Amino acid sequence: MYTILLSLSETIKGSFKPSLIVAILKGGVVPAIVISDLLGVDRVLTIRFRHYVDIGVRGVPTLCGELNGDVAGEAVLIVDDIADTGVTLKNVKEKVNMGGVRECKTLTVYSKPWSNPQPDFYGRMTENWVVFPWEIGETVRKLYKKYLSEGKSSNDLVADLVEAGIRESIVTQVLSLGEN
């Protein structure tokens, strides 16, 4: 992940100089902090926008809170982990632009080919469901409930998540934490 963000930072540096980064909560926070470090941008604001209500289940796109600072006159880079439909990026960019920014660009670690709009900068294109390190706990908990309701076992869950690329020891350790 770090190498993707490092490469994106090199690309950005050649074409855009943000003075402020807006991280979309929750998934965009970690990438935003890394990008801010690599580009030397000290100011990072957050905004929460919710589109998914469960794994693979889209809900009504909802702005869940206001931007936590002033963006007037700034060159803003909006950062999220993934662009799936593009709805989150579109809505957050509209909200940020209403704050009177000088310029506004978007960045995601991954983008889906059908995302509309596409982010201005993205690291990788994928059609797959992506589980980021900062959401493994949530993914395991939600899938565990789903598997139990379908009559499947925790062994089924472990096997499926290992097949998806998550180490078995991590899945079993998260499962041992129980309901949080």
Q: State the Cα–Cα distance between residues 9 and 39, nearest whole angstrom.
A: 6
| Amino acid letter for position 91 | N
* Same domain (yes/no): 54, 118: yes
What is the phi/psi pair of residue 116, to 5°?
-140, 105
Looking at residue 115, its pLDDT comes to 94
Mean pLDDT on 50-63: 60
> Which of 125, 141, 166 is the last residue before a domain boundary?
125
As a whole number of angstroms, the distance between CA 146 and CA 125 comes to 28
Claim to verify: residue 27 and residue 108 sit in the same structural domain: yes
Same domain, 173 and 94: no
Structural domain that includes position 79 = 2-125
Q: Which of 5-9, 163-167, 173-177 has the lowest mean pLDDT?
A: 163-167
Specify whether 142 is located in the same domain as 170. yes
pLDDT tens digits along 72-116: 999 999 999 999 999 999 999 999 999 999 999 999 999 999 999
| Pairwise CA distance, residues 120 & 72, whole Å | 21
CA distance 109 to 4: 7
Number of domains present in the structure of the chain: 2
Contact 107, 78 (CB under 8 A): yes
- Domain final position from 107, 125, 143: 125
Which pLDDT score, from 0 to 100, does residue 129 have?
Answer: 82
